[in-house]
Amino acid sequence: MFNYQLGIIPALDVDIQKAKKIAEAVKGLKKEIAGLKIGSILCWQHGLPKVVGELKKVCDFPVIFDAQKACTDIPDIVRKQAKVVANAGVDAFIAAPQGAGSATLTAFVDACKEYQIVPIVVLEMTHPEFSAFLSRDAAERILEKSIDLGVRSFVAPANKPERLKLYKNIAKKKREVIKILSPGVGPQGGGPDTAVEAGADFVIVGRAIYKAGEPKEEVKRIYDLIDKAYSSRKE
Ligand code: C5P
């Protein structure tokens, strides 16, 4: 699904009618949209299979499930969660293994491979003080371990561009190419262009798109910015 080089992933933290309206509005933007991110707001209300089914009736974008946050439990539960998610028709599943440890992370990646969905791992959150209860090098250790397990897609903050550079460099030292999906654009202070210049390949955008009067025009505007930033990026 990440055959795309660059793109926007709208975060649909809205009700199902609004989510379908946005999917309908952007469904023609094949170059700009790399996938749709769904999460707890939609799925706790309507159920994962229904949400995925409704979106796939409207458009054919990959659907990324961010349980906000999954992969925090014992390995056995995480394996079962991946199966449920895959059976619902999801294409990629985001894990946040901070605090769960490497056995849980391994179970997550193995289960995603078994059920043929793309594993995506959160390295670091966007909000201040997120790491108050974590060791200082938690993100770096999660990245190294995940790369060793075969993960190539990571979530890291658009509003901390220096961290994006660091993660890309760690992967480079291991002779691997990783894709970074970056939330934190707009209300959380990050710029889509500065994130892409620093190494983001995809920007995850919630409020800036779903609160816009014309979500389609906003997607096109953001894509223009990231496209220019990508062209001037030095790998
Ligand atoms: O509205 P906004 O663009 O700030 O939404 C950001 C989206 O990205 C939300 O769905 C949030 O859960 C998610 N996210 C984040 N920071 C992370 C990981 C995910 O904001 N590190």
Q: Which has more confidence, 3 or 38?
A: 38
**In a 3-state reduction of DSSP, which class is residue 155?**
strand
Q: Is 7 in the pocket of ligand 1 (CB under 6 A)?
A: no
Least confident of 4-8, 144-148, 165-169: 4-8
Tokens of 184: 């934190």
- Encode pLDDT of 146-161 as tens digits: 999 999 999 999 999 9
Instruction: For residue 124, report the distance from its CA to the centre of ligand 1, in Å.
Output: 11
The residue written with tokens 């709208």 in the block is 10
Length of the chain: 235
Q: How far apart are CA 52 and CA 85, in angstroms?
A: 10
Q: Is the distance from CB of 128 to CB of 162 less than 8 angstroms?
A: no
pTM value surpassing 0.75: yes
Cβ of residue 75 lying under 6 Å from some atom of ligand 1: no
Q: How far is the CA of 206 from the centre of ligand 1 (A)?
A: 7
Q: What element of type H or E holds 7?
A: strand 7-10
Q: Which atom of ligand 1 is nearest to the CA of 183?
A: 8
Cβ atoms of residues 202 and 179 within 8 Å: yes
3: confidence class by pLDDT, cuts 50, 70, 90 = confident
- Give per-residue pLDDT as tens, 9-39: 999 999 999 999 999 999 999 999 999 999 9
User: For residue 202, what are the β-bridge partners?
Assistant: 7, 181
Contact 163, 139 (CB under 8 A): yes
Q: What are phi and psi of 186, to 5 degrees?
A: 85, -115
Residue nearest to atom 17 of ligand 1 (CA): 125
For the purposes of burial, counting CB atoms within 10 Å of the CB of 49, is it exposed (0-12), middle (13-18) or buried (19 or more)? middle
Q: What is the DSSP string of 190-210?
A: B-HHHHHHHT-SEEEESHHHH
- C-alpha triplet 74, 78, 81: angle, nearest 5°: 145
Q: Which CATH superfamily is domain 7-232 in?
A: Aldolase class I (3.20.20.70)
